[in-house]
Amino acid sequence: MSVLLSFAAGVIAFYIIVYYNVFRGGRCTSSVKLKGKTAIVTGSNTGIGKATALDLARRGARVILACRSKERAEAAAFDIRRESGNNEVVFMQLDLGSLKSVRRFAETFLKTEPRLDLLINNAGLMGPGHTEDGFGMAFGVNHLGHFLLTNLLLERLQQCGPSRVVNVAALLHRFGAIDFPLLASQKDLVSGRSTWHNFKAYCNSKLCNVLFTRELANRLEGTSVTCYSLHPGVIYTELCRNMSLWQQLLLMPVAKLLFLDPEAGSQTTLHCALQEGMEPFSGRYFSSCALHEVGAKGRDDALAKKLWEVSERLTGLS
């Protein structure tokens, strides 16, 4: 019995050490207030997006919940207004899987909102299918929709500077790749539809997020707008809602033990959005509220420039 107790104690101690040093991550320590500022958070009806929006609302910002589902986003807005005591939390419909919807959102926002100080491109998914425009779902939503949205709102961000763009990427960008001939022929960065291909598509889209941030910083150099990409941590949210039931059931026990909750997962996003003195690090990548080096492909300026040019053509910006 004593051996079993010792073993159990050892397992618990190991779990605590791993959780607090590997999975739990850093905390945003900024005390910045945002009264009079406006922030857009995509995919903010649930998960780390909702936790991010709640924190910004508590700091006094006007927060736009840019989401696809009207019903779920309005419920989230109600929750955030109640918890924060801030009534300046509103829903605006945005389907990142539709370039027409992205353009409609930007047009409506620019007509009705005089400011934009923070654009937090948080929404992301992993799963099969295609967007309304025929692109692979992960590439179309995680990268292309955010690329178009950011470009359509850049002028307003510059007018309200200093302002920031924060792109939620992932550590999995290190496993990503960009095959431009495949993208030209298939409108996607993977050729199959298996679970492995869905995972690979997600990794590829996160590499796109990192490269987009890098090239955006190069193009914004000398302006009042800065941008950052980040790994939010290992978080169990609705990111995997498009996985099959058996895959979710396999993931759940590990997730409950080790993965961050949404509030903890929002900390690096908030750090990039709020921390003072971040301007010299525009275009860089953060994890656990600290500067980290990206994978080799994520440092390739030529690849970043080509992705930008291709994305401009695919979204009709050029």
Q: For the chain, what are the domain ranges?
A: 26-315
Q: What is the model's pLDDT at position 246?
A: 60
Sign of CA dihedral 75, 76, 80, 83: positive
- Mean pLDDT over 61-87 rounds to 98
pLDDT tens digits, 272-289: 999 999 999 999 999 999
Which stretch of 3-7, 39-43, 100-104, 243-247 has the lowest confidence by average pLDDT? 3-7
pLDDT of residue 15: 40
Which of the two residues, 275 and 239, has the higher pLDDT score?
275
Catalytic residue among 19, 20, 202, 228: 202
**pLDDT value at residue 95:** 98
**pLDDT at residue 259 greater than cutoff 80:** no
Nearest to 50 by CA among 24, 15, 26, 74: 74
Looking at residue 23, its pLDDT comes to 47
pLDDT at 254: 53
Mean predicted confidence (pLDDT) in 224-250: 72
- In terms of CATH architecture, what is 26-315? 3-Layer(aba) Sandwich (3.40)
Q: Is the backbone of residue 222 left (phi > 0), alpha (psi -120 to 50) or beta?
A: left
pLDDT confidence tier of residue 240, bands split at 50, 70 and 90: low
Q: Could you write out the DSSP letters of every residue in 11-28? A: HHHHHHHHIIIIIS----
68: nearest Cα among 46, 84, 38 = 46
* Residue 20: active-site member: no
Indicate if the pLDDT at residue 250 is higher than 90: no
| Average model confidence (pLDDT) across the chain | 89
pLDDT for the residue numbered 318: 86
pLDDT single digits (tens) 106-144: 999 999 999 999 999 999 999 999 999 999 999 999 999
The pLDDT of 138-160, averaged and rounded, is 98
The reported pTM is 0.87
Encoding tokens for residue 34? 């945002």
Bridge-partner residues for 286, per DSSP? 230, 291
Burial pattern 148-167, b for ≥16 Cβ within 10 A else e, equals bbbbbbbebbeebeebbbbb
State yes or no: pLDDT of 194 exceeds 60. yes
Give the torsion through C-alpha atoms of 257, 258, 259, 263, to 10 deg.
80
Q: What is the pLDDT of residues 164-177, one digit of tens each?
A: 999 999 999 999 99
* Strand-pair partners of 228: 166
For 24-37, what is the mean pLDDT? 91
